[in-house]
Amino acid sequence: MIADTADTAELHDSIISWFDANSRDLPWRRNASPWAVMVSEFMLQQTPVSRVLPVYEAWIERWPTPADLSKASTGEAVRAWGRLGYPRRALRLHAAATAIVEQHGGEVPKSHEALLALPGIGEYTAAAVASFAYGQRHVVLDTNVRRVFARIAAGQQFPATSLTSAERELATSLMPEHNAHRWAAATMELGALICTARAPICSECPVADLCSCRWRKEGYPAYDGPPRSGQAWAGTDRQCRGRLMAVLRDSPVPVPKTQLDLVWTDELQRERALDGLVADGLVEPLEDDLYRLPE
């Protein structure tokens, strides 16, 4: 744990100063409007920045406000989502935009409670929008922040596989009274660029010389928790769903089932994936065994 208030203040100053000098020039930081931040947070879930950037910029240019998106069909949203993966996020973002128009006059709500009440928004996204767009004081815990806090304060290489109450209490205790939104962004950036999962660059860490990192101080003890298996892709239902979605996304007209059958050889898995896409509202079945993105 961080020793005392003075050490915590020094930690805040060091990490925020590092962020001010080294943060990436990202479009949702240049334009930190509530809608821009919300779109970025939806897209960045389980997706690296490099993949998000071109899709985000095209999306904001096409739909610069929630009202603009709400006027589009869900199929247009799914098609514009492209190959970001987890396309249900596009449906949820569209639903959130519609709710913002219908319930909040087209303006992204400011309160954490109102944000949480929007479709498809959980605790993390509500806190991130309230913090980054409105400068409010909230705990914002993504994978990068959790890893930074696990190393600095708990002396562990990695955090638990799922968020714990102890982690939230720790994050709350470390949050500064002022500039909490900068602290949230700075710790997130530190985890993304320096305190990375596989190859942390401790020589460039702003707290390395402060003896503030317990993991470093204790000799980098290896993670000894439950196995941290990466997400498989090849041969999974997710890959099959992606292949089916790619065909439908690239076609301006409904696609015959026979064409979809060509993209995956395992018939049972293909049928299961297609049924799942229909159940999720991502694909619409038509007469004559045709399929399309939803209208």
Contact between residue 101 and residue 70 where contact means Cβ atoms under 8 Å apart: yes
Sign of CA dihedral 122, 128, 130, 133: negative
Residues 151, 8: Cα–Cα separation, whole Å: 15
Cα distances (Å, whole numbers) of residue 241 to 273, 288, 291:
5, 21, 14
Active site (annotated) includes residue 41: yes
Q: Give CA angle at 161 (179, 142), nearest 5°.
A: 25
Q: What is the DSSP track for 189-221?
A: HHHHHTS-SS---GGG-TTGGGT--HHHHTT-P
Q: What is the DSSP track for 171-188?
A: HHHH--SS-HHHHHHHHH
Strands, DSSP E only, in the chain?
Answer: 255-256, 284-286, 290-292
Contact between residue 289 and residue 257 where contact means Cβ atoms under 8 Å apart: yes
Q: Could you list the active site residues?
A: 41
